Amino acid sequence: MNPLWQLTLARFREFYREPAALFWVYGFPLILAGALGMAFSEKPVPAANVDVQDEPCDPAGTEKLRADLAADPGLNVAVHDADVCRKRLRTSKTDAVVVPRPNTHERYEYLFDATRSESVLARTAADRALLRAANPQAPRAKESAVTEPGNRYIDFLIPGLLGINLLGGGLFGVGFAVADMRIRKLLKRFQATPMRRSDFMLSLMISRLVFTLIDIGLLLGFAYFAFKIRVRGDPLVFVALIALGGASFAGLGLLLGSRARTMETTAGLVNAVMLPMYVLSGVFFSAARFPEVAQPFIRALPLTALNDGLRAVMNDGAGWEALPYPLLVLGIWGAVCFAVALKIFRWR
């Protein structure tokens, strides 16, 4: 019997006979996607909180300023004295403060936190409201709000979740599996069988890739029915990216488990590789937020290349033109990791 086929079949049997593995591979990603999708579902932007500093010497001016700001439905306006206004701004209970300056050329002053996007937006909204109140006859631009599939946060999130599922499947499903078999001394028994080392490693990668493809299909089906998310680009390119990413991360998992002798060592290696990519590779927020000097390193990470390719195909409708860069990065990572793992792997 072909060793590769028998080893792969054994991995299939070991997997579906373990209920906990079925839950963590197939059930947990669906729960995670549903929870994050509900938490970050599209909701109306709440009104900004703007405080007006009370000027006891000019109560009429303070009231007019409050009324002008309150005319904008996007602002929640309150009046407080100077100390309370600054404390509320410091503790983020208000987004901006408008200070009347009746005896100066500026007429009023804005206090806001330049490091908080909500504060900057509140300052801009307050300025717009006061300009409209000062010149009601000024022409206004027509505003049309557009919300459609493809530009929502959940559309950004789902490709990232697909990417980390592939990464986790490769590192945990392959790296931990090899370390576990070494600890249980199963690898010593495999060594005595008539098979090649490459057959054993390829069986781990093939079985993990099959499990991952089923997982991706379930997650995509859930995303479509729950959030109306679909693959807008070429389905063949999407499948090629998934297969390439799964193979690359399986090779990385083999490398991590090729010499590890304890589960603690394997866990440390997996976390050292996985956690930085969770943060840097644009899973939950864009990797463009990091400094420009770090971008070449971030773009060279396999999860970054996979996430960028998946988002291009799923959200932008890209085709084969989206494949070269992920193909290059994932191919190099997968080939190098598998070759090194094959070289340094030890049965004992």
Asked if pLDDT for residue 104 goes beyond 90, the answer is: no
pTM over 0.75: no
What are the pLDDT digits (tens) for 11-55? 777 777 776 666 766 677 778 777 777 766 666 777 889 998 888
Average pLDDT, the chain: 82
Between strands 96-101 and 48-53, the pairing is parallel
Mean pLDDT of 303-307: 91
What are the pLDDT digits (tens) for 208-220? 778 878 878 888 8
CB distance 159 to 310 below 8 Å: yes
Q: Where in the chain are the domains?
A: 3-41+149-344, 48-134
Backbone phi and psi for residue 95, each to the nearest 5 degrees, phi listed first: -95, -30
Between strands 48-53 and 75-80, the pairing is parallel
Asked if pLDDT for residue 1 goes beyond 60, the answer is: no
What are the pLDDT digits (tens) for 120-136? 988 998 888 888 887 77
What pLDDT is recorded for position 329? 92
What pLDDT is recorded for position 141? 66
CB distance 142 to 132 below 8 Å: no
What pLDDT is recorded for position 149? 56
The alpha helices in 115-152, defined as continuous H runs, are 117-134
Residue 135: C-alpha distances to residues 68, 102, 128, 203, 227 (Å): 11, 18, 11, 73, 43
Higher-confidence residue of 326 and 28: namely: 326
What pLDDT is recorded for position 316? 84
Confidence band, pLDDT 50/70/90 cuts, at residue 97: very high
Asked if pLDDT for residue 332 goes beyond 90, the answer is: yes
CB distance 188 to 267 below 8 Å: no
Please say whether the dihedral angle defined by the alpha carbons of residues 292, 297, 300 and 302, taken in this order, is positive or negative: negative
Q: So what CATH class is 48-134?
A: alpha beta
Mean pLDDT of 284-303: 87
Give the Cα separation of 33 and 85 in Å (integer): 40
